[in-house]
């Protein structure tokens, strides 16, 4: 049995589940006893993660299920689409997988989102387990049941709310994470401070070097605290009818960057990092925060190894292109863009802003990158 450092509960009545944070979970050959029962386990992973952890997870699952199969997808945001999703369905149908099949999402946010969406759709729903191997997935995307694929016109526009049965966060997998991916995950870590916990933000200011050096105790604290905050928000608003939208701080601008550049050119966390700077600047211009808050946020994002200046998406009307892309956003209502803004450090609100003011922010925050 693995030694569990932290356990965070997501309380959703009959859909409740645990997030287990350890250093030796499934990817290193040890699994908890309370896995979902089933006739078959199907590990969904990608070409990058499979050579690192695929065999170890499959071997561990072989002690728990009569059959174990693996589906290996191409790596990257550019493949978060219908054709790649169909590769999962092709494998499930080819192997005659029934409703007692359990899917295991082994990888980062793309694998987690697509495996969860496949689980929600296959035979109208089969159980799945998240085994996130990136910091971004461990602190954010593996938790809360959002599953989706991208559309050429908008990110994550096709999907479902479908909760996993369990989340297994193996901190040892972060040892093999490229530096750029670690930094991208830190964007989702940093966001929790301005929206909910400025004491955690202060902790990050004091310990960012230790986190980037991958000190295990620092990473364990980061993953636990982020999951605690998200668990609390999701328990109150599972389907994002209100409060949960605050978790999208930086994402309205960030998704526009990802879509406008082409999926995969910038990592999701890189777009969110710049998006947080833009959202903070918009909050400042609306009189909701002061300049010192914006300076602290920008400084911490830079120390995380992330960009703070947005790319030019259009040589003619750059701000207009951002606005066009942001109108295709799940928070938009009747074509009106709604932003997650900071109404004083540690508190977020969702509201609109005049296009003219948004244009000023985009112009001030973009340039050659």
**Threshold 0.75, pTM exceeds:** yes
Sign of CA dihedral 68, 110, 7, 128: negative
Taking a C-beta distance cutoff of 8 angstroms, is the pair 167, 132 a contact?
A: yes
**CB-count burial class (<10 Å; 0-12, 13-18, 19+) for 347:** middle
Q: What is the pLDDT of residue 106?
A: 97
Rounded mean pLDDT, 314-340: 90
Q: Looking at residue 366, what is its pLDDT?
A: 97
Going by C-alpha positions, the residue among 4, 88, 91, 107 that lies closest to residue 46 is 107
- 188: nearest Cα among 270, 131, 118: 270
pLDDT band at residue 23 using 50, 70 and 90 as cut-offs: confident
Question: Which tokens hold the place of 167?
Answer: 């989340």
DSSP state of 54: I
| 247 has pLDDT over 70 | yes
Q: What percentage of the chain reaches a pLDDT higher than 70?
A: 98
Alpha-carbon torsion, ordered 193, 199, 202, 203, to 10 deg: -100
Q: Provide the annotated active-site residues.
A: 124, 146, 188, 230, 240, 244, 248, 251, 255, 268
Residue 334 Cα distances to 253, 258, 331, angstroms: 18, 23, 10
Task: Please write the tens of the pLDDT for every residue from 117-134.
Answer: 999 999 999 999 999 999
Whether 333 shows a pLDDT value over 80: the answer reads no
Tens digit of pLDDT for each residue in 70-110? 999 999 999 999 999 999 999 999 999 999 999 999 999 99
Structural domains of the chain ordered from first start? 4-176 (3.40.50.1970), 179-365 (1.20.1090.10)
């Amino acid at each position: 049995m693995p030694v569990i450092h932290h356990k965070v509960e997501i309380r959703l009545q009959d859909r409740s589940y645990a997030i287990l944070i350890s250093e030796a979970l499934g990817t290193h050959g040890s699994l908890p006893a309370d896995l979902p029962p089933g006739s078959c386990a199907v590990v969904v992973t990608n070409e990058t993660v499979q050579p690192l952890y695929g065999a170890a997870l499959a071997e561990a699952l072989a002690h728990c299920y009569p059959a174990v199969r693996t589906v290996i997808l191409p790596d990257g945001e550019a493949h978060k689409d219908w054709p790649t999703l169909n590769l999962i369905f092709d494998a499930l149908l080819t192997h005659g997988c029934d409703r007692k099949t359990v899917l295991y999402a082994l990888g980062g946010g793309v694998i987690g989102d697509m495996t969860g969406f496949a689980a929600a759709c296959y035979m109208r729903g089969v159980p799945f387990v998240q085994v996130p191997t990136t910091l971004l997935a461990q602190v954010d995307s593996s938790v809360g049941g959002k599953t989706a694929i991208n559309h050429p016109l908008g990110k994550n526009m096709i999907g479902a709310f479908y909760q996993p049965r369990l989340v297994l966060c193996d901190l040892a997998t972060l040892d093999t994470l490229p530096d750029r991916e670690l930094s991208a995950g830190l964007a989702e870590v940093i966001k929790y401070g301005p929206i909910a916990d400025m004491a955690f933000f202060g902790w990050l200011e004091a310990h960012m070097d230790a986190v980037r050096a991958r000190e295990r105790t620092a990473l364990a604290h980061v993953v636990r605290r982020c999951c605690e905050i998200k668990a609390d928000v999701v328990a109150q608003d599972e389907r994002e009818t209100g409060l949960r939208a605050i978790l999208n701080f930086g994402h309205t601008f960030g998704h526009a960057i990802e879509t406008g550049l082409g999926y995969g050119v910038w990592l999701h966390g890189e777009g969110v990092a710049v998006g947080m700077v833009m959202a903070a600047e918009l909050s400042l211009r609306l009189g909701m925060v002061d300049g010192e808050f914006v300076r602290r946020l920008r400084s911490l994002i830079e120390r995380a190894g992330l960009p703070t200046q947005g790319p030019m998406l259009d040589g003619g009307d750059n701000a207009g292109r951002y606005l066009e892309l942001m109108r295709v956003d799940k928070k938009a209502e009747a074509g009106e863009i709604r932003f997650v803004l900071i109404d004083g450090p540690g508190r977020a609100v969702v509201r609109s802003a005049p296009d003219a003011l948004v244009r000023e922010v985009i112009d001030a925050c973009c340039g050659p990158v």
